[in-house]
Amino acid sequence: MNAGYLQKQITYKEKIISQVGKFNRKHKHLSFLGVAYAVLAIFTYNILFYFYRNVKRFTALACIILFFISSSSFSYPGMSLNISFDSDLNIESEDRSDLEEISLVEVAQSDAQLSVAKDIDINVLKEAENQVNPDVSEADHLNPDMQVSIDDILEAESEEAIEVSETTDDNAAILEEDTALASSMDELSFSKDDWKIVLVNKQHPIPDSYSFPLGTINGSMKCDERIIEPLLSMMKAASADGVKLIICSPYRDMDRQTMLFTNKVNRYMDAGMCYMDAYNLASQAVTVPGSSEHQIGLAIDIITDGYSSLDEGFANTSAGKWLLANSYKYGFILRYPKGKETITSIEYEPWHFRYVGVDAATIMAQNDICLEEFWNIYVK
């Protein structure tokens, strides 16, 4: 191929212009199509030729981008610790039974496994995992100064060191009234304004206007003074049957509840979690401040001689069995029963009892329902 032949070679652009010129001369009325074709063909050619001349540069750039994507965390599915029994999970009915069997301990164990990928201190997380109850975390159930038995109360009464005697008549009247109501269950109706059945949970925080008379059980241990007489009657009846009930962690004020919750959040943050993950996980173990029945003085945690752990094992003790069979007679209910976790949003707690009055407690015991179900059916 000589130089003269090369000089005769025309460029792609000139070739396209020549072809379009011939087309336009033959089809003058379609000349706009020829011009459009020429512009599109030349533009496409220039783009492709540009990439062809810089193929090495673009190959290197593509490799860099691919490496960046493959090594960045955002290229993988995020692992969330946002676990909550309040979540509105859209699951099939056959999976719901599995959900109901999940315990807080299992949740914490799962989070401990996830922590490996998030540089979380597993030892700190396991410590928090074992503290599945706010009272457990503060060890009130192991502190003798934070416990009271019927013997302690009777001894204090004999020394006139307790103020229960000032309200005995009023409380006895309440107990007598509740017992009379329980004898005519078919005629009962319940008002949402009745203090005995006030609903407090994650979905129904304590109303700002809610107030109650705070009474002393023994020493520094307090509760709503209106439930002291029924509580003492229940403890005396259990003692007569050879069962010793020991109260721990009754009333807690807002500051203490906030402290318990904040401590739990801080424990998870110390393990390496971000605040939102720590908050969400802590809310499964400690009631969010403003949503605890302990704050309204109607909830009582109970242990017994020889078993001071606040766990499911309490249900197998003589005290746990006696309470399950008899507590309703004195106006108390097992607040978070087994099998109702998806309704109460709280794990099974056989040690946690709540005063609702004899009438409401009897209905719940007879129909095997929890307080949330009672409200849906009976409260107007």
Structure confidence at residue 159 as a pLDDT band (50, 70, 90): low
Over the stretch 126-153, which tens digit does the pLDDT of each residue have?
555 555 454 444 445 555 556 777 777 7
349 in catalytic set: yes
Residue 134 in contact with residue 256, Cβ under 8 Å?
no
DSSP, collapsed to helix, strand or coil, labels residue 248 as strand
Structure confidence at residue 366 as a pLDDT band (50, 70, 90): very high
Rounded Cα distance, 23 and 18, in Å: 9
Question: How many contiguous H segments (helices) and E segments (strands) does the chain have?
Answer: 17, 7
Rounded Cα distance, 227 and 195, in Å: 11
What value does the mean pLDDT take over residues 41-54? 83
Rounded Cα distance, 262 and 14, in Å: 78
Task: State what percent of residues in the chain have pLDDT above 90.
Answer: 37
pLDDT higher for 107 or 326? 326
Residue 144, pLDDT score: 57
Closest CA to 351 of 248, 223, 220, 227: 248
Structure confidence at residue 336 as a pLDDT band (50, 70, 90): very high
Residue 328, pLDDT score: 97
Contacts of 62 (CB under 8 A, 6+ apart): none
Residue 24, pLDDT score: 78
pLDDT higher for 121 or 375? 375
Which of 114-118, 173-177, 225-229, 233-237 has the lowest average pLDDT? 114-118
Q: Where are the beta strands (DSSP E) in 114-260?
A: 147-149, 214-218, 221-224, 245-248
Residue 359 in contact with residue 188, Cβ under 8 Å?
yes
Structure confidence at residue 20 as a pLDDT band (50, 70, 90): confident
Most confident of 68-82, 83-97, 211-225: 211-225
What value does the mean pLDDT take over residues 88-95? 40
Structure confidence at residue 65 as a pLDDT band (50, 70, 90): confident
Residue 100: CB atoms within 10 Å = 12
What value does the mean pLDDT take over residues 196-208? 93
Sheet holding 332-336, edge to edge: 147-149, 245-248, 299-304, 349-355, 332-336
What value does the mean pLDDT take over residues 288-307? 93
Over the stretch 97-115, which tens digit does the pLDDT of each residue have?
443 443 444 444 444 444 4
Residue 130, pLDDT score: 54
Rounded Cα distance, 28 and 347, in Å: 85
Rounded Cα distance, 43 and 377, in Å: 75
What value does the mean pLDDT take over residues 335-355? 93
Residue 62, pLDDT score: 84
Q: What is the mean pLDDT of the chain?
A: 76
> How deeply is 236 buried, as exposed, middle or buried, from its count of CB atoms within 10 A (0-12, 13-18, 19+)?
middle
Residue 288, pLDDT score: 86
What value does the mean pLDDT take over residues 331-356? 94
Pairing of strands 147-149, 332-336: unpaired
Residue 90, pLDDT score: 40
Task: State what percent of residues in the chain have pLDDT above 70.
Answer: 68
**In this structure, what are the phi and psi dihedrals at residue 339, rounded to the nearest 5 degrees?**
95, -5
Residue 375 in contact with residue 199, Cβ under 8 Å?
yes
Structure confidence at residue 57 as a pLDDT band (50, 70, 90): confident
Among candidate residues 138, 225, 341, 349, the one labeled active-site is 349
